[in-house]
Amino acid sequence: MAIYRPLQGNISTTPTLYIDTEAKASALLETAKHRLNILRKMLNSVSCLCVNDAEGHDLEHFASAAHILLQNGCDALDALGWKLDRVAPSL
């Protein structure tokens, strides 16, 4: 397995953002938690928003940002899972 894996949220043909699969488990968990907590706060804000007050592509932009945060958090959790599998393989 490569040490640096491209994030699934890369939109270019050549990946530019990577996750370090050799990072400490606590760092991977903290990265995932940080992105998921930001996403939770964003969703809380939008749940209080009246859709009639949204202008133009506001919700589209919000959804795009939410998707990237969620995907990055999931990528960090995947890397954490790979690390845990290497330390304690399934019996």
Is 68 part of a structural domain of the chain? yes
What is the number of structural domains in the chain?
1
Task: Say which residue, 36 or 60, is predicted with more confidence.
Answer: 36
Is 20 part of a structural domain of the chain? no
Is 14 part of a structural domain of the chain? no
Is 62 part of a structural domain of the chain? yes
What are the tokens at 5?
């894996």
Is 81 part of a structural domain of the chain? yes
Is 38 part of a structural domain of the chain? yes
What is the model's pLDDT at position 46? 83
What are the tokens at 41?
């706060």
What is the model's pLDDT at position 90? 63
For range 62-82, the mean pLDDT:
93
User: What residue numbers bound the domain in which 74 lies?
Assistant: 25-47+56-86
What are the tokens at 36?
């998921």
DSSP 8-state symbol, 18: E
Q: What percent of the chain has pLDDT over 90?
A: 59
Whether the model clears a pTM of 0.85, i.e. scores above it, the answer is no
Give the DSSP H or E segment for 20: strand 18-20
Is 19 part of a structural domain of the chain? no
| pLDDT interval class at 54 (50, 70, 90) | confident
Is 39 part of a structural domain of the chain? yes
The CA dihedral of 12, 14, 19, 22, to the nearest 10 degrees, is 170
